[in-house]
Amino acid sequence: MKLYYASNTCSLAAQIVALEADIELQGEKVDIHQQPHVLADGSPFTAVNPKGYVPALELDDGRLLTEGVAILTFLSDLRPDAALAPRDKSLARYEYLQWMTFIATELHKSYSPWLFHPEVGAMAQDAARQKIGERLPIVEARLVGRDHLVGERFTAVDAYAFTILSWSTYAGVALSGFPKIERYLRAIAARPSVRQARVAHGNLIGQES
C-alpha cells in the first residue's frame, strides 16, 4: 500500500498507526506548498486524490481511501491483534468513533487551516484559538487517572490526538494550563513508532513535545 503524505500534517497519524501495527507502507510525499499540490515528479496530486489533500491511502488493488479517520480505522482493523481499534459492534468501538469524531471536528479543523494560514487574519485565528481553548478541558478531564483516551492502551485515537495537539506550540495554543495533556503528549512522543514516523515524515512542527 502507498501512503500519500506531507510533512507536518495529519498524515503523520497514519504512519504512526502503520508502524504500531507492523504494516509496511510505501510513502509518496506531496508538495503542499505548491498550488495545486504536486507529487515529486511534478504531476498534480488531484490526479490521485481529487479532494487534493492528504492523507490518501492507495490500496494494493489500486483503490483509494481518503479521510484520516477512515484510514486510521482501516489500518487498525488490518491488524486486530495490535488492538489499535476496538472490535466492531462493541460499545468500546463506538467510544472510539466518538473520540475520533471529536478530534476531527472540534480540534483538527480548528487548528488547521485557521492557525496555519496567517492570511485568514488575526480575528479568525483568535476565534480558532478560543474554540480550541473551550475544547481542551474536555481532553484534560478525560485524562484524569488515564494514560490513553480510549481503553487501557495506545490506540489509533491517541495517534490522531497526539498529531493534532502537537501543533499547539507552533499554532500559538497554550497548553500550560493542561498538565495532563502535556504529560500525555510527552509519553506518546517517547514511543518508538512516533519517533520513527516523525523522521520518516520529516516533521519539525511538534518536536517540542
The phi and psi torsions of 103 (rounded to 5 degrees) equal -65, -45
pLDDT, position 207: 66
**Predicted model pTM:** 0.96
pLDDT, position 209: 47
Task: Report helix, strand or coil for 177.
Answer: coil
The answer to whether the beta carbons of residues 150 and 157 sit under 8 Å apart is yes
Could you give the residue ranges of the DSSP H alpha helices within the chain?
11-20, 68-78, 91-102, 109-111, 122-142, 156-165, 168-171, 179-189, 192-201
What cell numbers appear for 190 in the block? 517517547
Show me where the domains of the chain are located. Answer: 2-82, 91-192
pLDDT, position 88: 87
pLDDT, position 205: 72
**Alpha-carbon gap, residue 203 to 40, rounded angstroms:** 18
CATH class given for the domain over 91-192: mainly alpha
pLDDT, position 111: 97
Q: Which of 119, 114, 15, 32 shows the shortest CA–CA distance to 72?
A: 15
- The fold of 2-82 is Glutaredoxin (3.40.30)
**Alpha-carbon gap, residue 55 to 64, rounded angstroms:** 10
User: For the chain, what is the largest distance between any 2 Cα atoms, rounded to a whole number of angstroms?
Assistant: 49
Q: Taking the chain (209 residues) in consecutive chunks of 10 residues, what is each chunk's mean pLDDT?
A: 96 98 97 94 97 97 98 98 94 97 97 93 96 98 98 97 97 96 98 96 71
pLDDT, position 23: 98
The answer to whether the beta carbons of residues 1 and 17 sit under 8 Å apart is no
